[in-house]
C-alpha cells in the first residue's frame, strides 16, 4: 500500500500529506488543552454545582461515543477528507458558540455538539493515516501521531491558563480560530489526493466489525485501546489527583506533578516504540508496555508517599508510551489493505471512549466504597486482561511476518 503520487515524501520516507495531518493533530490537541483550564470554571460561572459542571465535560465524551458508528458509515459514503474537514468545522463552530453561551444549558448543548465533530475528525484522521502510511513505517507514523497529541495536551493548558487572564471565554475563541486555520491548511494540502474516491482505496469491501472480530489481533487491539481509555484518559485524570490530595494529604500542585511524571514517561517511550515495532513486530512492544502499565497502576493505590507515586507514574507513562502507538500501527496492519470506514474502524475509537467514560465512574465508586488500593488494582487488571489477549494475538507487522498482513478467515 503506497500513498498517492501527490504525497511523495522526502523526509524519512513518510509522505508529505501525513506530515500535514500530524501538524494538524498537534493544533487540535493543543486546543483541547487550551480550553481545559477554562471549561469547568466557565460552567460554574453560571451558578451550577460541581456535578453540573462535570456534566459539560462528560457530554462531549458521550457524544463521541454515541456518534462513532455513524461516522464510520459516513466515511464509507463520503470519504475521509470530507468527514475530517466537516468534523473540524463542527468543533470550530461549537467551540465559538460556547464562547458566547449565555446560559448553562446553552454551554452544555454546544459542548456536546463538539463531541460529534470530534469523533468525525479523529476516526477519519485514523482512516487517512492507515491508507497513506507505507506498511513498513506504520509504527513510526503512529508514534509521531501519539507524540503530537501528547505535546498539544502538555502545552495547551499552559497557554490556556495564560489566556484565562483575558476572560474565561477567550480560550474558546482562540481555539475556534486555530481549528479554522488547521482545516484550511488540510483542505489545501490534501486537495490533490483524491481521498474521497472510494475506488482508489485498496481492494474488496469495507471490513465489517463481525469480520474484524474473527482476527485475534483486532480483538487484542480493541482490548488494549479500551485499557488505554480506562487507565490513561479516564482514571489517570479523574482519580489519580484525588488519591494524591485525599489519601496522601498532598497539595493539588503535587497532583499536577504526578500527571506530569506520567507525561515524561510517555514522551520517553512513544517515538522509540513506533520504530521498534516496525523492526521487531507489534507484539514484542505492546506486551511489555501493557505489563508495565498493569503493574505500575495496580501498585499506585498502595503508595506510601509522593516519591513512590511519582516513580509509578513515570513507569505507567513508559508502559502506555510503548503500547498505545504500537496498537495503532497494528490496526493499520489489519485494516490497511481494505477500503476505510465502517464499523471496524469506528469500534476502535469507541473502545477508548468507552473506557474513558466508564473508568472514572467505576473506579471512583470502588475508591469511595473500598479504598484507593482496590480501585487501582482493578485498573491494573484491565490492562492485564488486554495483555493476555495480546499473548494469543497474531503478529501483524510486515517486517515480522514477511508480507503485507491480511485477515485470515481461519484466524480465531
pLDDT at 198: 35
Mean pLDDT of the chain: 82
Q: Where residue 157 falls among pLDDT bands split at 50, 70, 90?
A: low
pLDDT at 376: 94
Q: Where residue 192 falls among pLDDT bands split at 50, 70, 90?
A: low
Say yes or no to pLDDT of 412 above 60.
no
pLDDT in tens, 346-405: 888 889 889 888 888 888 889 888 999 999 999 999 999 999 999 999 998 876 655 444
Domains of the chain: 5-200 (1.20.1250.20), 209-401 (1.20.1250.20)
Q: Contact, 221 vs 345, CB < 8 A?
A: no
With CA atoms as reference, report the closest residue to 227 among 341, 390, 101. Answer: 390
Higher pLDDT, 318 or 52: 318
Which range has the top average pLDDT, 79-88, 302-311, 350-359?
Answer: 302-311
Q: Contact, 15 vs 138, CB < 8 A?
A: no
Q: Where residue 199 falls among pLDDT bands split at 50, 70, 90?
A: very low
Q: Where residue 193 falls among pLDDT bands split at 50, 70, 90?
A: low
Residue 269 CA: distances (Å) to CA of 150, 323, 352: 12, 9, 20
Higher pLDDT, 96 or 209: 96
pTM for the complete prediction?
0.79
pLDDT in tens, 212-260: 899 999 999 999 999 999 998 888 877 888 888 888 888 877 877 888 8
Question: Three-state SS string across the chain, please?
Answer: CCCCHHHCCCECCECHHHHHHHHHHHHHHHHHHHHCCCHHHHHHCCCCCHHHHHHHHHHHHHHHHHHHHHHHHHHHHHCHHHHHHHHHHHHHHHHHHHHCCCCHHHHHHHHHHHHHHHHHHHHHHHHHHHHHCCHHHHHHHHHHHHHHHHHHHHHHHHHHHHHHHHCCCHHHHHHHHHHHHHHHHHHHHCHHHCCCCHHHCCCCCCCCHHHHCCCHHHHHHHHHHHHHHHHHHHHHHHCHHHHHHHHCCCCHHHHHHHHHHHHHHHHHHHHHHHHHHHHHCCHHHHHHHHHHHHHHHHHHCCCCCHHHHHHHHHHHHHHHHHHHHHHHHHHHHHHCCCCCCHHHHHHHHHHHHHHHHHHHHHHHHHHHHHCHHHHHHHHHHHHHHHHHHHHCCCCCCHHHHCCCCCCCCCCC
With CA atoms as reference, report the closest residue to 345 among 226, 222, 230, 199. Answer: 222
Q: Contact, 296 vs 93, CB < 8 A?
A: no
**By mean pLDDT, which of 77-81, 117-121, 283-287 is the weakest?**
77-81
Report residue 384 CA to chain centroid gap: 20
Amino acid at each position: 500500500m503506497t500513498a498517492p503520487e501527490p504525497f511523495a515524501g522526502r523526509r524519512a520516507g513518510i509522505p508529505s500529506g501525513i506530515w500535514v495531518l500530524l501538524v494538524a493533530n498537534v493544533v487540535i490537541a493543543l486546543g483541547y488543552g487550551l480550553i481545559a483550564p477554562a471549561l469547568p470554571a466557565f460552567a460554574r460561572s453560571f451558578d451550577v454545582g460541581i456535578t453540573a459542571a462535570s456534566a459539560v465535560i462528560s457530554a462531549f465524551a458521550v457524544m463521541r461515543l454515541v456518534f462513532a458508528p455513524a461516522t464510520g458509515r459516513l466515511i464509507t459514503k463520503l470519504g475521509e477528507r470530507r468527514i475530517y474537514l466537516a468534523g473540524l468545522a463542527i468543533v470550530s463552530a461549537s467551540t465559538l458558540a460556547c464562547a458566547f453561551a449565555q446560559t448553562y444549558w446553552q454551554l452544555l448543548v454546544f459542548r456536546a455538539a463538539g463531541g460529534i465533530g470530534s469523533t468525525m475528525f479523529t476516526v477519519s484522521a485514523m482512516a487517512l493515516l492507515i491508507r497513506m502510511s507505507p506498511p513498513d513505517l506504520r509504527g513510526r507514523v503512529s508514534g509521531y501521531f501519539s507524540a503530537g497529541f501528547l505535546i498539544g495536551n502538555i502545552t495547551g493548558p499552559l497557554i490556556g491558563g495564560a489566556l484565562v487572564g483575558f476572560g474565561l471565554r477567550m480560550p474558546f475563541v482562540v481555539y475556534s480560530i486555530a481549528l479554522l486555520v488547521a482545516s484550511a491548511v488540510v483542505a489545501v494540502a490534501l486537495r490533490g489526493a483524491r481521498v474521497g474516491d472510494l475506488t482508489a482505496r485498496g481492494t474488496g469491501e469495507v471490513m465489517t466489525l463481525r469480520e474484524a472480530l474473527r482476527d485475534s489481533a483486532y480483538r487484542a487491539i480493541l482490548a488494549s485501546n479500551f485499557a488505554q481509555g480506562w487507565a490513561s484518559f479516564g482514571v489517570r485524570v479523574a482519580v489519580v489527583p484525588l488519591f494524591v490530595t485525599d489519601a496522601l494529604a498532598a497539595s493539588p500542585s503535587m497532583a499536577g506533578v504526578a500527571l506530569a511524571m506520567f507525561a515524561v514517561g510517555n514522551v520517553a517511550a512513544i517515538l522509540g516504540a513506533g520504530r521498534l515495532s516496525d523492526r521487531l513486530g507489534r507484539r514484542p512492544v505492546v506486551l511489555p508496555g501493557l505489563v508495565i502499565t498493569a503493574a505500575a497502576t495496580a501498585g499506585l493505590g498502595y503508595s506510601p508517599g509522593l516519591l513512590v507515586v511519582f516513580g509509578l507514574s513515570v513507569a505507567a507513562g513508559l508502559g502506555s508510551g510503548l503500547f498505545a502507538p504500537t496498537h495503532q500501527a497494528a490496526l493499520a496492519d489489519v485494516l490497511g489493505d481494505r477500503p476505510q470506514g465502517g464499523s471496524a474502524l469506528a469500534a476502535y475509537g469507541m473502545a477508548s471512549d468507552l473506557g474513558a467514560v466508564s473508568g472514572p465512574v467505576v473506579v471512583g465508586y470502588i475508591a469511595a466504597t473500598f479504598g484507593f488500593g482496590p480501585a487501582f488494582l482493578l485498573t491494573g487488571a484491565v490492562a492485564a486482561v488486554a495483555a493476555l489477549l495480546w499473548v494469543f494475538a497474531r503478529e501483524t507487522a510486515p517486517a515480522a511476518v514477511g508480507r503485507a498482513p491480511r485477515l485470515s478467515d481461519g484466524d480465531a
